[in-house]
Amino acid sequence: MNRTTVDRERLGLNTELVTVNMGPQHPATHGVLRIVLTLDGEVVVSARPDVGYLHRGIEKICETMTLHQAIPYTDRMDYLAPVVNNLGLAMAVEKLVDFQITEKCRVMRVVCMELGRLSSHLLWLATAGLDIGAGTVYFYAFTGRERIMDLFERMSGARFTVSYGRIGGLARDWEAGIERDILKVMDLTKDAISEVDKLLTRNKIWCDRNQNVGPISAEDAIDLGLSGPNLRAAGVEWDIRKAYPYLGYDRYDFEIPVGEHGDCYDRYLVRMEEMRQSIRIVEQALKEYDPSGPLFPTDPASQKVFLPRKDRVLTKMEELIHQFIVATEGPKTERGKEIYFSIEATKGELGFYLVGSGTNVAHRCHFRSPCFVNLQALPVMVEGQMVADVVATVASLDPVLGEVDR
């Protein structure tokens, strides 16, 4: 893997190792990541990622409040695709309390998940390009992402921290005709992706900066617990959407892109292809979308999980009482029941481990965040490489420090 070795003896140089801190306030570390690098000249001898600068104790906070209240906190984990976290937690709680969502809600969630993936990958593309010096890409990718943010604003009322998932459904229904606008945005996103593709894929400078940089073998990737696009770039075909389908992903026709070399360039190609596949899924899902269906189930047994409809609360006494009961006592979990539920988030396997307490507060909440696990592969990838490649490798790993530290 070593691209360069300094033969000190032969050169007769008296060199010594230098330790430098990259970060935590470094623009190319995507947040507050500190990497302690030991350098021999320009060659990295060891790299030690140091995390925890953004630790807020989200898991513990979520244990102090009802599971319904925990949803906005998940926004602040992977803040590049908040909707994916919201829906992940909502689905985990639904598994804990055995709840079935409606068909319309399922379709809407699939679309939201894939829009979240697109927005996150577009931001990755923008910043990874910028880190390596391809500044133009930044603007095209961000323009594409902006359109998706506009869609989220129309769906949920917020652009960024959407808090759109709710246990049992979604925060609000889509306005009429938004599905046409989503399709329009998908067409524009396709154009944006192909434009970036034209700029970068066959660009000799981009190839030089990415090919054979930060490589990892498939065995190492599995041993280190990598997941998501980083694992697939190393040549392992593993996607939870296919392996353990949730939200009916098995009905959709899409492919898992797999790389070969596990270097930055393959990670780039895999993510680009994933975006195209996401657009395919959105288009297929929107064909099934039926605006007239119910967002929440109507059978009486499931009414204890989500808030009743607002117009009924304002006019009917029983629903008003019901509103108070649901808001304060929420979905009751079974005492001691444990579940683990994982989804293919934008960065990899996002897992939720919940233990019921007999009330609507979880006894234990643990989130398996993909970025935290992915980051531990950094030393394997960069040791023996040049110091400038560390920037490219960190960018291609796509860590979000909000999720690493939680």
Partner 1 sequence: MKVTRPKLSWWERTYFPAILKGLAITLSHIPKIKKRVTLEYPEVRWALPPQYRGAPILLTGLDGNEKCTSCKLCEFICPPRAIRIVAEETSLEKEKRPKEFDIDMGLCIFCGYCQEVCPVEAIWLKDEYEMADYDRTNLIFNKEQLLARGRKPPYLPGREKPLEEPK
Binding site for partner 1 (CB under 8 A): 65, 68-70, 72-73, 136, 143, 146, 153-154, 156-158, 161, 163, 171-172, 195, 198-199, 201-207, 211, 255-260, 265-266, 269-270, 273, 307, 310, 313-314, 320, 323-324, 327-328
DSSP assignment of 82-147 equals HHHHHHHHHHHHHHHTT----HHHHHHHHHHHHHHHHHHHHHHHHHHHHHHT-HHHHHHHHHHHHH
Q: What are the two backbone dihedrals, phi and then psi, of residue 46, each rounded to the nearest 5 degrees?
A: -145, 150
Q: Nearest distance from residue 140's CB to partner 1, in Å? A: 8
Q: Nearest distance from residue 171's CB to partner 1, in Å? A: 7
Give the residue with the Cβ less far from partner 1, 286 or 326. 326
Three-class SS of residue 352? Answer: strand
Q: Nearest distance from residue 43's CB to partner 1, in Å? A: 25
Give the residue with the Cβ less far from partner 1, 326 or 343. 326
CA distances from 298 to 4, 102, 208 (A): 66, 9, 58
Give the residue with the Cβ less far from partner 1, 229 or 399. 229
Give the residue with the Cβ less far from partner 1, 8 or 172. 172
Q: Nearest distance from residue 133's CB to partner 1, in Å? A: 12
Four-point Cα dihedral 33, 379, 400, 120, nearest 10: 140
Give the residue with the Cβ less far from partner 1, 174 or 352. 174
63, 333 contact by CB (below 8 A): no
Give the residue with the Cβ less far from partner 1, 99 or 206. 206
Q: Nearest distance from residue 64's CB to partner 1, in Å? A: 10
Three-class SS of residue 177? Answer: coil
As a whole number of angstroms, the distance between CA 274 and CA 307 comes to 36
Q: Nearest distance from residue 134's CB to partner 1, in Å? A: 9
